[in-house]
Amino acid sequence: MDQIEHPPKELWQQRRDWFEGLFDVEKRGGGYVIGEQATGLLVDLQAAYCAGAFIACVILGCTVLDAHIRETEAGPD
């Protein structure tokens, strides 16, 4: 069952550092406004990316965008 094996710790850390570098506020010069649901899904997206589940990352990425749009752009109704 090659699909279930955990990647090496070095690879996991390398992927984690890259992912967290994308959201580094100090590096980018400003913060992001992300709702609670989108933030929770973003954590799942990071875990899926670090694990190497790249197809799941595409699906989760779309879900994060949808949650973000619903939380920030849509009205209270």
Give the whole-angstrom CA distance, residue 2 versus residue 5: 6
Q: Mind listing the pLDDT tens digit of every residue in the chain (77 residues)?
A: 466 678 889 999 999 999 988 877 777 776 677 888 988 999 999 999 999 999 999 999 999 999 988 888 776 66
Q: What is the pLDDT of residues 37-56, one digit of tens each?
A: 988 999 999 999 999 999 99
Say what the pLDDT of residue 64 is.
93
pTM for the whole thing?
A: 0.80
| Res 1: pLDDT | 46
CA-CA-CA-CA torsion for 7, 59, 44, 50, nearest 10 degrees? 20
Tokens standing for residue 70 = 């619903």
